[in-house]
Amino acid sequence: MRVSRGEVSFPASLPAPQSVHSVVIDRPRSPCPLRQEDPVATAHAAAANEHELAAMRRAIMLAALGLGSTSPNPVVGCVIVNASGETLGEGYHQRAGGPHAEVHALRAAGEQARGATALVTLEPCNHTGRTGPCAQALIDAGIARVVYAVGDPNPSATGGAQRLRTAGVDVRAGLLEDEAAAVNAAWLTSVRLGRPHVTWKYAATLDGRIAAADGSSRWITSAGARADVHRLRAECDAVVVGSGTQRADDPHLAVRGIEGAVQPLRVVVDTNGTAVAPGARVLDDAAPTLIAVADNVTTQGEAETVRIPRADGGLDIRALLDELHARGVRSVLLEGGPTLSGAFVAAGAVDRVVAYLAPVLLGAGPAALTGGGITTVTDALRLDVSETVRIGPDLRVTATPVALVAKEH
């Protein structure tokens, strides 16, 4: 296990935690059967030098800057270096429809790009949409070598590596693939599974309570942890809660304190159409709002409404995700209570768990999860913890289901 000091950025308008440090757990990673790799290029991934490793790490950091603002496109970072490892230009995909990462980096490098190496987090695209093919832009600029992290699984855009190779460019793949794929998890889930990537976020006491016996929950976690939740919201396309949370908390669900953040779609899963009262905070103009109700419910409200088939006493979670995906949503932050979270778990629709744990004991009150289709220990949803971060007095734990890939097939 590798223990390292880390940092979490907090908006200037919100209080920063007293201390932040992280524990990142290193482990062997098994290959994902959903990946579609370029076998020729992948075989050469180990040929990267230290300069290229550093540049790719920088490219991954740049790519992450686009989280929450590029959907339905991927987040991509690009760094162009010379033979000595000096950075000539860098960039990232900032907005859907805007220039791609490679174009930003090439513009920054100018004529120095000729004969240089481009490090890209995703295989350069090979299609013309709102922008031209990045593979051709690299060729036209005289780039001599391209190293990318993740192969493009999108059938309409793949082939960039072959196009580059045909033009005489040295192409290598797979450098820091897992790290780059983690940053692009939402888009990769969309392409491979045809649905949004779902992060279930909750805050709880050390004995697993999300509220006290009287229903009070403000505040279990610290101001620093709550500020960090706004970062999660800013990185997603939609924030989802259920009718119980809507009635109990009247949540706002918009991003606050992060300058320039693209506001996510606020989604309330209100099966019977009775939870969102006039004047509810989700009905203001801070962010768009969608109310999901059962297909046999008639409603008249201020927000847009979508009808979803019923299932197991609530709404069909897969149908809900299909609807959101059709609207361009590629990443969902699930902030629902135990019933809605259990429905997502039962549907096999939780890709990542982010838990904020406070050093508090309540002894009674609702737990974070109800149901989930789990009746015995052998049915438990096992998680692989990838990171723990201390935020002031609280602990943020990030984990992914161990059998996620197997459950999707």
Continuous H helices in 210-250: 223-234, 243-249
Q: From CA 19, how far away is CA 8, in angstroms rounded?
A: 10
Q: 3-state class of 88 per DSSP?
A: strand
Residues 6+ apart with CB under 8 A from 269: 240, 241, 242, 243, 292, 314, 315, 320, 336, 340
Residue of 90, 102, 177, 323 marked catalytic: 102
User: What is the torsional sign of CA 2, 59, 232, 158?
Assistant: negative
For every residue of 4-61, DSSP letters joined together read E-------TTSPPPS-EEEEE-----PPPTT----HHHHTTGGG--HHHHHHHHHHHH
Residue 179 annotated to the active site:
no
Residues 59/62/68/71 CA torsion (nearest 10 deg): -40
User: Which phi and psi (to 5°) does residue 292 adopt?
Assistant: -100, 120
Nearest-angstrom CA–CA distance, 333 and 201: 7
Q: In what order do the strands lie in the sheet with 2-4?
A: 2-4, 20-24, 383-391, 394-401, 352-358, 197-205, 331-334, 238-242, 265-269, 289-294, 304-308
The secondary element (H helix, E strand) that includes residue 136 is: helix 134-140
Q: Are 231 and 9 in contact (CB under 8 A)?
A: yes
Q: Torsion angle of alpha carbons 389, 372, 253, 7, nearest 10°?
A: 10
How far out from the chain centre does Cα 82 lie? 32
> How far is residue 79's CA from residue 143's CA, in Å, rounded to a whole number?
12
Q: Record the tokens describing residue 270, joined without a space.
A: 């209100």
Number of other residues whose CB lies within 10 A of the CB of residue 221? 25
Is the peptide bond prior to 200 cis by the omega test (within 30 degrees of 0)? no
**If DSSP codes are grouped into helix, strand and coil, which group holds residue 238?**
strand
Active site residues: 102
